Amino acid sequence: AVAPMYLKPRAPDVRDDDDDEEEELPPVVTWRQLESLQQSIQSIAAVIAFMSISIAVFVHELQYRGFVPPWELDCANPAADRVLCTINPSCSYGLVNTTVADNVRILTCFPLDDNRGLIDNLKIGNSALTLWLLVTVYFYYRYEANILSLRNHVEFVDRELEIHWLYTSGLQKWFMLEGFFLIISQVPYYSTDIVINSDLFSTRPTVYSLDGIIALLMVARAYEIWRWY
Cross-strand pairs, 94: 106
The CA distance from 188 to 146, in Å, is: 37
Residue 114: other Cβ atoms inside 10 A: 10
DSSP 149-170: HHHHHHTTSSSS-----HHHHT
Task: Express each pLDDT in 6-26 by its tens digit.
Answer: 333 444 555 555 555 555 545
What is the pTM assigned to this prediction?
A: 0.74
Task: Express each pLDDT in 182-220 by its tens digit.
Answer: 999 999 998 888 887 766 666 677 788 899 999 999 999
Task: Express each pLDDT in 116-138 by its tens digit.
Answer: 899 999 999 999 999 999 999 99
Q: What DSSP designation does 143 have? A: H
Residue 91: other Cβ atoms inside 10 A: 18
Residue 205, Cβ density class (10 Å: 0-12 exposed, 13-18 middle, ≥19 buried): buried
- CA-based nearest residue to 204, from 62, 59, 61, 86: 86
Task: Express each pLDDT in 107-117 by its tens digit.
Answer: 878 777 778 89
Q: What DSSP designation does 77 have? A: S
Contacts 24+ apart (CB under 8 A), 106-114: 106/195, 106/197, 107/68, 107/195, 107/197, 107/205, 107/207, 108/195, 109/65, 109/68, 109/193, 109/195, 109/207, 111/63, 111/191, 111/192, 111/193, 112/62, 112/63, 112/65, 112/191
**Residues 56/186, Cβ–Cβ less than 8 Å:** yes
Task: Express each pLDDT in 53-92 by its tens digit.
Answer: 999 999 999 888 777 888 888 888 888 888 888 888 778 8
* φ and ψ of 222, to 5 deg: -60, -15
Task: Express each pLDDT in 81-116 by its tens digit.
Answer: 888 888 887 788 887 765 554 567 778 787 777 788
Residue 74 confidence (pLDDT): 86
**Residues 106/93, Cβ–Cβ less than 8 Å:** yes
Residue 166 confidence (pLDDT): 75
